[in-house]
């Protein structure tokens, strides 16, 4: 089993709400922690990661054909069998690059928020579960990165910018959830704050904005501060793309001071959980079909299946905190409500406001991926010339095809799931409860028009 970090304990913990209400939370947290501790899914993922060899898995689909880059495009229809296999494998590597980046958010903010919840006497089981999930996420991240790296390196050759090496990951990288840039990544970089600015951030948060809650300041952040380390912030994953790094550091301090805003993180984490489940459930179904038929199960597919089982516990935790736990604390101030709603609104804008025509189940515009698609077409998978790559890129991105309709189907399912989660969260703006930005982005016509503009700009930069 995973050895999670033990609760160091606090001398003076604060009682929260009535026993009857707390007992409900404690019971669910205890059940989740016990079941998660007894499972061995993470250990299975570790073993698959350790033994993964691309060539041993290269002749098999890692998921249904629809879980492939460029699925449904004119190019996919003309692709050879080997090219379709490559697109299927690269889709897995692409999606789990995003998953790793998002789970890096959990590695950080699980620790930040557990440091807040530990200031209260009622949430020991919940904090133990968060510690366990943090340990599990580190193993998930390693598996996704290493298996994805080996896959991209094998298929893309010199086209793949080998900015990472299989042995370059250090324990400190995984502790902070560090990820590195590759083809088909979901990164946004920023500049760190100076030491003076970080001190100012802590002062403004603890002494001015949230001064009445300074006693809840996260033990995790306190220990980093004592060591002279910077305020941590992610620049990848769902949260890392919402704002420049200085604002994300401000968000970290806020989540590490206010119990309400600590709960807010789990609203974004639940969004991420559902984003992953939206396509990962299809992998799990495919795994069960192969298992039932006694057929070979590729290692990446098995990782997807076991990850879904691990994430079931994490999703339960996210939902508990996002929908229920925040009610245990004092009602949020106008400032806390505003920051919470701004965060959810930005999450919609950044990662849920469009439809990709080239990456099924991705809900952002394809302008982010134009260069990656172009490099893919010139890679050993297709070996196209500059002119051919541009011509096919236009055909795949700028006209209606089945790939858009497939992503729209995934979009509608996720939209329904998120609306169902957010409806009872009373502090959210109506536009956030109804996911209005995401809903308006679910337009194939709009996606194509955006791609036409993006393609025109992109083609001018390389011709």
CA distance 410 to 151: 25
Mean pLDDT of the 445-452 span: 98
C-alpha triplet 101, 371, 103: angle, nearest 5°: 5
Q: Which two tokens stand for residue 121?
A: 């006497």
Mean pLDDT check: name the lowest of 80-94, 161-175, 292-306.
161-175
CA distance 282 to 287: 9
What does the pLDDT read at residue 3? Answer: 45
Q: What average pLDDT does the structure give for the chain?
A: 86
Mean pLDDT of the 324-342 span: 93
Could you report how far apart the first and last alpha carbons of the chain are, in Å? 55
What does the pLDDT read at residue 212? Answer: 58
What does the pLDDT read at residue 14? Answer: 53
The string of pLDDT tens digits covering residues 116-158 is 999 988 899 999 999 999 999 999 999 999 999 999 999 998 6
Task: Assign 3-state DSSP to the chain and report helix, strand, coil percentages, each to 5.
Answer: 70, 0, 30
Asked if residue 266 lies in contact with residue 274, where contact means CB atoms within 8 angstroms, the answer is: no
What is each CA distance from 301 to 61, 64, 150, 306, 419, in whole angstroms?
A: 9, 10, 15, 9, 29
CA distance 423 to 156: 44
Mean pLDDT check: name the lowest of 40-44, 192-196, 384-388, 435-439.
192-196
Give the rounded percent of residues in the chain with a pLDDT score beyond 70.
83
What does the pLDDT read at residue 284? Answer: 98
What does the pLDDT read at residue 173? Answer: 42
Asked if residue 146 lies in contact with residue 61, where contact means CB atoms within 8 angstroms, the answer is: no
Return left, alpha or beta for 35; rule: phi > 0 is left, psi -120 to 50 is alpha, else beta: alpha
**Among all chains, which residue has been given the structure tokens 């536009």?**
431
The string of pLDDT tens digits covering residues 43-76 is 999 999 999 999 999 999 999 999 999 999 999 9
Neighbours of 459 (CB within 10 A): 14
CA-closest candidate to residue 346, choices 415, 270, 431: 431
The string of pLDDT tens digits covering residues 81-108 is 999 999 999 999 999 999 999 999 999 9
Q: How confident is the model at residue 4 (pLDDT cuts 50, 70, 90)?
A: very low
Q: Which two tokens stand for residue 158?
A: 């010199």
Domain locations in the chain as residue ranges: 19-462
Query: What is the enclosing helix (H) or strand (E) of 201?
Result: helix 195-203
What does the pLDDT read at residue 209? Answer: 53
Tell whether the model's pLDDT for residue 214 goes beyond 90: no
Asked if residue 249 lies in contact with residue 193, where contact means CB atoms within 8 angstroms, the answer is: yes
């Amino acid at each position: 089993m995973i050895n999670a970090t033990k609760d160091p304990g606090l001398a003076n913990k604060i009682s929260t709400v009535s026993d009857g209400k707390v007992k409900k939370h404690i019971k669910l947290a205890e059940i989740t922690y016990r079941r998660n501790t007894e499972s061995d899914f993470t250990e299975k993922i570790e073993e698959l990661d350790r033994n993964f060899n691309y060539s041993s898995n290269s002749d098999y689909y890692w998921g249904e054909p629809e879980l492939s880059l460029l699925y449904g495009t004119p190019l996919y229809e003309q692709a050879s069998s080997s090219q379709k296999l490559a697109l299927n494998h690269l889709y897995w590597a692409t999606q789990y690059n995003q998953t790793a980046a998002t789970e890096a958010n959990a590695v950080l903010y699980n620790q930040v928020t557990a440091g807040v919840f530990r200031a209260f006497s009622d949430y020991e089981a919940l904090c133990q579960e968060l510690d366990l999930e943090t340990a599990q996420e580190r193993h998930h991240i390693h598996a996704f990165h290493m298996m994805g790296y080996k896959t991209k390196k094998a298929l893309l050759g010199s086209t793949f910018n080998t900015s990472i090496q299989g042995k370059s990951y250090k324990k400190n990288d995984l502790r902070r959830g560090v990820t590195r840039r590759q083809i088909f990544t979901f990164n946004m970089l920023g500049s760190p704050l100076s030491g003076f600015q970080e001190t100012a951030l802590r002062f403004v948060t603890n002494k001015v904005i949230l001064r009445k809650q300074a006693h809840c300041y996260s033990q995790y952040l306190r220990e980093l501060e004592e060591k002279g380390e910077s305020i941590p912030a992610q620049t990848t994953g769902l949260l890392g793309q919402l704002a420049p790094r200085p604002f994300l550091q401000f968000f970290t301090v806020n989540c590490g001071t206010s119990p309400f805003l600590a709960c807010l993180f789990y609203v974004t984490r639940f969004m991420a959980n559902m984003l992953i489940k939206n396509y990962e459930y299809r992998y799990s179904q495919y795994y069960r079909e192969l298992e039932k038929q006694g057929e070979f199960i590729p290692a990446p597919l098995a990782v997807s299946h076991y990850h879904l089982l691990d994430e079931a516990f994490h999703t339960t935790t996210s939902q508990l905190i996002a929908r229920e736990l925040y009610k245990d604390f004092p009602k949020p101030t106008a400032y806390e409500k505003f920051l919470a709603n701004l965060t959810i609104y930005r999450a919609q804008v950044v990662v849920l406001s469009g439809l990709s025509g080239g990456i099924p189940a991705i809900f952002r515009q394809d302008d982010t991926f134009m260069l990656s698609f172009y490099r893919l077409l010139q890679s050993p998978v297709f070996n196209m010339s500059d002119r051919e790559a541009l011509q096919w890129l236009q055909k795949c991105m700028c006209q209606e095809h089945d790939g858009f309709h497939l992503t729209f189907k995934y979009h509608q399912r996720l939209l329904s799931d998120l609306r169902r989660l957010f409806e009872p969260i009373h502090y959210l703006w109506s536009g956030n409860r109804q996911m209005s930005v995401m809903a308006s982005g679910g337009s194939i016509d709009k996606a194509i028009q955006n791609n036409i503009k993006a393609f025109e700009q992109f083609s001018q930069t390389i011709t």
